[in-house]
Chain A
Amino acid sequence: MEQSSLLLFLRRMFRRKLVLVAFVVLCAIMLMALLAPWIAPHEPTTIRVVRRLKPPSELNWLGTDEFGRDILSRIVYGARASLGIGLAVVLVSMTVGTLFGLMAGYFRSLDGIIMRVVDALMALPDILLAIFLVAVLGASAFNVVLALSIVYTPRVIRVVRASTLVIRELPFVEAARALGVSTRRILSVHILLNVASPVLVQATFIFAYAVLAEAGLSFLGAGVPPELPTWGTMIASGQQYADQAFWVVLFPGLAIVLAALSLQVVGDGLRDMLDPKLRKAL
């Protein structure tokens, strides 16, 4: 039974070919990040000044950067940092956001305070809030994760709160309460399981935003240290050579677009799949 419902889920999800393609691309990028040391054709940090700014060739498929480092290898390794940071942001903002969202939606007394703070955080553009937080906390991979988590948690809170408000009034919650189920259990089992699908959809979107935002922060010099190869730092350090060697900027950017786009398409597929209202319309 379990297996057939999973199969049905996957069949529905991948009915749109584009979603399937995006999912495959996403898996490929993730695998690339995981297996970087085995896939990368060169060492990402080996400097070979004689081969600096060489165009794509048989030796360096995507060309070399200003230090003669192989761009393809750096993109492969960069996937680790870029996706790792994105994933960490997703995990932190999901956990914290779900917790506060449940509280805001379930306890009327907390709703006002939590939502006003959410409003205040959302009154600042993502990248502006992020750059401020990184400036205050100091530029490091850990602080970039922290800053971006603070930026994206309010979105999760909003989604979870909205769903909780609806679910709280449904008969099965009332029944659970009448049976003497503790508030904690109602929240952590009965309601949490029912807000899981909108949260999951939001997770894929936040993953995409976080990958884009990390690149933006690195580009501004307010992200991870420039020695760490991420797609953002590659573009940042390559931009002054764009006149002579466009590939230095082009390919890391394409990696960002590909990763963010496939996350977004998979998220869209999930949403269409999980939203009963949309499912009918399709």
Chain B
Amino acid sequence: MWLKLGRRLGSLVIVMFLVATMVFFLTRLAPGDPAALMLGDQATAEDIARLRQVYGLDKPILVQFILWLKEIATGNLGQSIFLQRPVIQAIAERAEPTFFLALFSVSVAALVGIPAGIASAVWRGRLVDQIVSGLAMLAANIPSFWLGLIFIQLFAVRLGWFPVAGYGEPGAPFMERVLHLALPATVLGIVNSALIVRFTRASMLDVLSEDYVRTARSKGLSEVRVVLRHAFGNALVPIITVVGLTAALLVGGAIVTETVFGLPGIGNLVVSAVLRRDYPVIQGALIVVAGIYVLINLLIDIIYTFVDPRVRY
């Protein structure tokens, strides 16, 4: 078990190293000298030269890369050009809305997707199945920002049930935060439920034709118990995977929704960094998001061993 886990951690480190490499060298493709960019139009040649020295931009690119990797490995993601603070701090300040948005969205997606998937597997080929599959297909092809705009118009502007945008005053009570997150989480939950429906349905269909399900039925167990306990319990592994991956992707993938709803999260930070060409922030956010993604992947693998004793490390 420990050996396998070690190997898994090894490949995780390699993937993160490659992400960092990619992010570093791709950023250098950007036109313009980073130092000149930081100082703006008023800068003199000496100013630029001095800043290049401070940031080590005058060294060969490979040396810069190694120095940068060293910094990252110790958790230092550099300094934001525009925000006047370390990147890691800027990201930490924005983490809360993104975390809760991802959490609530995944909850909505799972609460909608799993029962719908079970129902369409149980009544396979019937009307329920067709309706669920059709709706899931539709949900997967709606642009989240557009659905967000429509929901804002309907539920915030016209009906006034929810705040139009934002995350409430600083220090607002948690319930107010929840109210601000309700619409964006519903939008993201709906859009992301499609994959969960599909996986749940497929996984349930696999299991429902197993011998032990027939045995459970012939023992005279109620259909509800057969489906929910005997079948669903054994169909869990792929379902957990897809729910976990959805959560992982939402951490960085909610950019558009955060922008529509004016949530001051990591996605919003990235968008404003992109528009201002604040490269250290973009790089840092990419590395943090990728790191969360691979960590959640690892976590999913570990959860398997608890859900399904046959999976062993």
Contact B141 A123 (CB under 8 A): no
1/0 contact string of A75-99 vs chain B (CB within 8 Å): 0000000000000000000000000
Q: Does any Cβ of A come within 8 Å of B54's Cβ? A: no
B17 to chain A, nearest CB (A): 8
In whole angstroms, what is the CA distance A128 to B267 when docked?
8
Q: Which of B27-35, B70-78, B89-97, B235-243 touches A?
A: B27-35
Chain A residues with CB under 8 Å of B142's CB are: 257
- Assuming A137-B29, A256-B143, is B274 touching A132 (CB within 8 A)? yes
Q: Does any Cβ of A come within 8 Å of B270's Cβ? A: yes
- Assuming A219-B256, A256-B146, A261-B141, is B274 touching A120 (CB within 8 A)? no
Chain B residues with CB under 8 Å of A219's CB are: 143, 145, 256, 259
- Assuming A135-B274, A264-B137, is B255 touching A123 (CB within 8 A)? no
Q: Does any Cβ of A come within 8 Å of B112's Cβ? A: no
**B contacts with A, residue count (CB < 8 A):** 49
Contact A222 B26 (CB under 8 A): no
In whole angstroms, what is the CA distance A47 to B275 when docked?
28
1/0 contact string of A157-180 vs chain B (CB within 8 Å): 000000000000000000000000
Q: Does any Cβ of B come within 8 Å of A25's Cβ? A: no
Name the one of A117, A220, A250 contacting B255, with C-beta atoms under 8 angstroms: A220
Contact A124 B252 (CB under 8 A): yes
Chain B residues with CB under 8 Å of A216's CB are: 143-145, 256
Name the one of B22, B138, B141, B253 contacting A125, with C-beta atoms under 8 angstroms: B253
Residue of A with least CB distance to B18: A120
Q: Does any Cβ of A come within 8 Å of B213's Cβ? A: no
- Assuming A116-B14, A250-B150, is B141 touching A212 (CB within 8 A)? yes
Name the one of A129, A131, A135, A221 contacting B277, with C-beta atoms under 8 angstroms: A135
In whole angstroms, what is the CA distance A119 to B249 when docked?
14
Contact B256 A220 (CB under 8 A): yes
Contact B143 A249 (CB under 8 A): no
Name the one of B15, B256, B277 contacting A123, with C-beta atoms under 8 angstroms: B15
Please give 20 more A-B residue pairs, beta carbons under 8 A apart, in addition to A128-B267, A136-B27, A260-B141: A116-B14, A117-B18, A120-B290, A127-B253, A127-B255, A128-B286, A131-B274, A132-B26, A132-B270, A132-B282, A136-B26, A137-B29, A215-B145, A216-B143, A220-B256, A221-B271, A235-B149, A242-B149, A257-B146, A264-B141
8 A-B pairs (CB sep. < 8 Å): A123-B19, A124-B19, A128-B286, A136-B29, A212-B143, A220-B256, A246-B153, A257-B146
Closest 10 CB pairs of A and B: A125-B253, A253-B146, A120-B18, A260-B141, A135-B274, A123-B290, A125-B252, A128-B252, A261-B141, A136-B30
